[in-house]
Amino acid sequence: MNTEKAKEILEGKLVRQVVSVRDCPLKGFWEVFTDVGIMYLSDDGHQLIQGSVIDIQPPTIVNLTESSLCQHRVDILSSLQDDIILYEADQMEYEVTVFIDMSQVYCRKLYRELSEYLRLGISVGFLAHPEFGGDTPIAADMETIWTSKNPKEELYNSINGISSVAPAATTPNVQRQLELAALMRVHKVPSIILPDGALVQGYTFPNDLLKMLQQLPKH
């Protein structure tokens, strides 16, 4: 099974987009990463499984599907590095990526508490995720921010209601971020992606986020 074959079998029938195909722990099946999540397609293309594969071998129980999705998130974020508006902690211990919509209360709250995340050693990178889609006034505003010469200044101005430059006419950068966020199963804002690809949906207090990060395996 390869990506082109999986596209032929699935696209336009069960999914809109097949992103990739790779080996999986299920004998006789392949892991297919699609716009609606991870699926498992048989060698002959006749059977399709949608759901979680869980390894119950001692000593730990592991959701292999979620682990794979985490790795996909890490890979996707690597392709978005040039789009991330990054605030680096002086004594950085961790780095997270946050999808935001500045018109939403808890996104503004997270931004205004940025100094506390940084104080705790958590660098924060922002990506755009206008909650009501790419063809909206807020999406145009976010396009202006993400394509400006000084994105940090424009983001600050937007959060604090300071007038900025005219909105962009199109939203190619923001639209791309939205599409890739959907692949990562980001459905609300703010959404925080941890260094291992785990997804935390919703606002998280700085100290609570630090505790989550401290529990991640050391590499």
Residue pair 96/124 in contact (Cβ under 8 Å)? The answer is yes
Q: What is the pLDDT of residue 165?
A: 59
Q: Is residue 177 part of a domain?
A: yes
Res 50: pLDDT? 93
Judge if 199 and 108 occupy the same domain: yes
Residue 219 has pLDDT above 80, yes or no: no
Q: Which residues contact 19 (CB under 8 A, 6 or more apart)?
A: 3, 33, 34, 35, 72, 183
Mapping DSSP to helix (H, G, I), strand (E, B) and coil, where does residue 37 land?
strand
The stretch 12-34 carries a mean pLDDT of 92
What span, in angstroms and rounded, lies between the C-alpha atoms of 180 and 210? 26
185: alpha, beta or left? (left if phi > 0; alpha if psi -120 to 50): left
- Looking at the fold, whether 199 and 102 belong to one and the same domain comes out as yes
Residues 159 and 112 in one domain: yes
pLDDT in tens, 156-172: 988 888 766 555 555 56
**207 and 105 fall within a common domain:** yes
In percent, the amount of the chain with pLDDT more than 70 equals 95
Same structural domain, 13 and 117: no
Please, are residues 177 and 83 in contact by the beta-carbon 8 Å criterion?
yes
Q: Is residue 68 domain-resident?
A: no
pLDDT for 72 beyond 90: yes
- Whole-model pTM: value is 0.89
Residue linked to tokens 């939403």: 104
Are the CB atoms for 43 and 29 separated by under 8 Å? yes
Mean pLDDT over all residues of the chain?
A: 91
What's the pLDDT score for residue 134? 83
Task: Identify which has the larger pLDDT, 99 or 137.
Answer: 99
For residue 110, what are the domain limits? 78-214
* pLDDT, tens only, 195-205: 999 999 999 99
User: Do the domain assignments include residue 73?
Assistant: no
Helices 64-78 and 172-183 meet at what angle, rounded to 10? 160
Q: Are residues 94 and 59 in the same domain?
A: no
Give the H or E element holding residue 18. strand 18-23
Judge contact between 2 and 24, C-beta under 8 A. Answer: no
Does one domain contain both 27 and 127?
Answer: no
DSSP-derived pairing of the beta strands 94-100 and 122-128: parallel
CATH code, domain carrying 164: 3.40.30.10
Residues 41, 87 within the same domain: no
d(CA 22, CA 110): 37
Question: Do 56 and 88 have their domain in common?
Answer: no
pLDDT in tens, 102-158: 999 999 999 999 999 999 999 999 999 999 888 888 898 899 899 888 899 999 988
Domain contains 69: no
Instruction: Of 78, 123, 101, 119, give the one whose Cα is nearest residue 203.
Output: 101
In a domain, 70, yes or no: no
Q: Are strands 85-87 and 18-23 parallel, antiparallel or unpaired?
A: unpaired
Same domain? 38 vs 106: no
180 has a pLDDT exceeding 60: yes
Q: How many domains does the chain have?
A: 2
Same domain flag for 106 and 40:
no
Same domain, 41 and 100: no
